[in-house]
Amino acid sequence: MNPPGANLGVTIFADKLFEAAATVTEGLTKIEEAFVLVDGAKIHYQRAGTGRPLLLLHGLVGSAKNWRRNINFLSRDSSVYAIDHFNMGQSERVPGLNAGLEATADRLAAFMDALALDEADIAAHSHGGAVAMMFAARHPDRVRRLLTHSATLGISLFASTRRALGFGSPAGFLFYPGC
């Protein structure tokens, strides 16, 4: 396994290599549909707006489309990236993928590397919140603000993640320093 922050072979591919990037309109906001190659697999994301990066992480068995009603508002002040995790949404299915929180958090770092995002605000719900908290614990220098709603963590992981972050809440919202 690569150590946190190691180059995981991430590369951005032009639309010609994958499906042409589609553009959809949600309200008045143009939402770009795109793919990036992370550790050898295609990751789908939606992007809209300009400003500081804001990553939106969906819950288990969800997709970037879970955020479609929020992107219009959030993209007024941010470059919004609604991400389909590996094996979910339109992202590539990878048989035998390590779906643990640590591995998923490190793939999120690789996603950010692929898009040249040094740090970002992160909003996440459900399982995406667990990934976001693990990401903040493993890559604290890459998180500017963190907001989770109904984040889920296994009992054994919950205590260690709270200690790693220095604070936490078992349910509801968790605010990362800088909010």
Amino acid at 100: G
More confident residue, 137 or 15: 137
CB 109 within 8 A of CB 135: yes
| pLDDT score for 16 | 29
Cα–Cα distance list, 24 to 29, 49, 115, 166 (Å): 8, 13, 21, 40
> How far, in Å, CA of 136 to CA of 140, rounded?
5
Closest to 88 (Cα-Cα) out of 44, 135, 134: 44
Per-residue pLDDT of 49-74, as tens digits, reads 999 999 999 998 899 999 988 999 99
What pLDDT does residue 6 have? 39
- Is the pLDDT confidence value at 162 over 80? no
Helix intervals (H) in the chain:
68-74, 101-114, 127-138, 155-165
Supply the pTM of this predicted model: 0.73
Least reliable range by pLDDT among 17-26, 34-43, 110-119, 146-155 = 17-26
Residues with Cβ within 8 Å of residue 104, at least 6 apart in sequence: 85, 86, 131, 134
Q: Would you call 119 helix, strand, or coil by DSSP?
A: coil
What pLDDT score was predicted for residue 160? Answer: 53
What pLDDT shows up at residue 166? Answer: 55
Closest to 54 in 3D by CA, of 30, 43, 70: 70
**pLDDT mean over 80-92:** 94
**Taking the C-alpha atoms of 146, 71, 49 and 8 in order, what is their torsion angle to the nearest 10 degrees?**
50
> Could you tell me the domains of the chain?
23-175 (3.40.50.1820)
Alpha-carbon distance 62 to 149, whole Å?
Answer: 15
pLDDT on residue 174: 44
